Structure 1
C-alpha cells in the first residue's frame, strides 16, 4: 500500500480584524494615560508632646479647622497666641481670608523663611475641606511680570487632630477651680 501525499495548501492568516482592534485600542489607551495623572503631596506627622523632640525656641504656625471656621495661631516658647479667627461666611469657609491672612503672616520677618505649617482639624471636618485648606496654605496666585504664577506660602504640611474646644474650656475651668 502506497500512500500518496496530498499537496498541502498553505494556510492564510487573516490579521485584518486584529489590526482593526489595535488601531482602535492604542489611541484609546494613550488618551486614558494622559488623564490618569497622580498628584502626591508629602505630609508629615506633627511632633509629639514629649519634651526634647520639640525645640521650644522654634516658632510653629497652626491652622485649626473647626466647624465654625478657621483659627490661625502661633506657638513660641510653649505659649500659643491666636493670630486670626476667620468665621464662616454664609455657612461657607473663608478660604480667601485664610490665604490673605497667611500672606500677611509670610511678610513677617519671623515667618519669611518658614515653610512648615500644622493643620489641626476637628473630627467632623470633611475630606474636601481638608484638601482645599491644604491647597490654600501651600500657595496662592500672584502676578509676576504680567504673568499669573503660584507663589509659595507654607508647602510643608503636618496634619493633626484639633483639641476639642469644649474639653479645653472644661480643663481650663477645672484647673482654675483647683488653683487657690
Structure 2
C-alpha cells in the first residue's frame, strides 16, 4: 500500500483592515451632519376649495377677501369683485409693503364691524413667479408689529386659499353691467 503524505492546510481567519473605512466615516459623518443643519423645510398650510351647494357657494363667495396678483399691479377686493385698492408695482416688483398696510386697514375695518375674518383668497395670473406667490402668502398671513417694546408677528389672514385670477376683460365687462 502506498502511503501518501497529504498535508492539509489549516484555515486561518482573514484579518479585516478597516482603517480606510474608518477614515471615510470620519470625514463623511460630519459632512452629512453639517448638511442636515443647513437644509430647512418650510411648510405652507393652504386651504383647497371644497365641493358644496351652488347657492351656498355663491352667497359665501360674495363675502370673500381677494388678493389678485396681476403683471402690473395687485388688486385687493372685498367683497369678491369689488376693488378696495389697486397697488401698482414698483420697479417691476409687487409693492408688498403697501399691500400689507391695506390688508391691515381692511382687517381693522372688519373688526370695527364685528366681523372676524381669517380667510383670504389669492388669485394669480398664469406665469406668476413662485417667489411672488410665496411673498404674497407671507404678506397676507401676518405683519410685524411692536407690542410692549418687542417686535411680534401679528395675525392678518392665516387661512389662505389659492386660485386663478379672472381675465381683466371679464372684469371690465361685469363692471359695465
| TM-score normalised to structure 1 length | 0.81
Aligned to 1:116: 119
Higher strand fraction (1 or 2): 1
Say whether the 8 Å CA contact 1:71–1:86 is kept in structure 2. yes
**CA RMSD, aligned part only?**
2.6
Task: Say yes or no: does 1:99 pair with 2:100.
Answer: yes
Structure with a larger share of its residues in helix: 2
Aligned residue among 33, 55, 62 for 1:51: 55
4+ residue segments displaced more than 6 Å:
none
Larger Rg: 2
Counterparts of 2:159 and 2:141, CA distance in 1: 8
- Kindly indicate whether residue 13 of structure 2 is the aligned counterpart of residue 26 of structure 1: no
1:45–1:160 contact (8 Å) kept in structure 2: no
Structure 1 segments unaligned to the other structure (5+ residues): none
Does structure 2 retain, via aligned residues, the 8 Å contact 1:47–1:53?
no
How many residue pairs end up in the alignment? Answer: 171
1:118 and 1:159 in contact (8 A); partners too:
yes
Residue matched to 1:67: 71
Q: Which runs of 5+ in 2 are unaligned?
A: none
**Aligned partner of 1:15 among 12, 15, 18:** 18
Cα distance between partner residues in 2 of 1:59 and 1:31: 49
- Contact 1:105–1:111 under 8 Å retained in 2: no
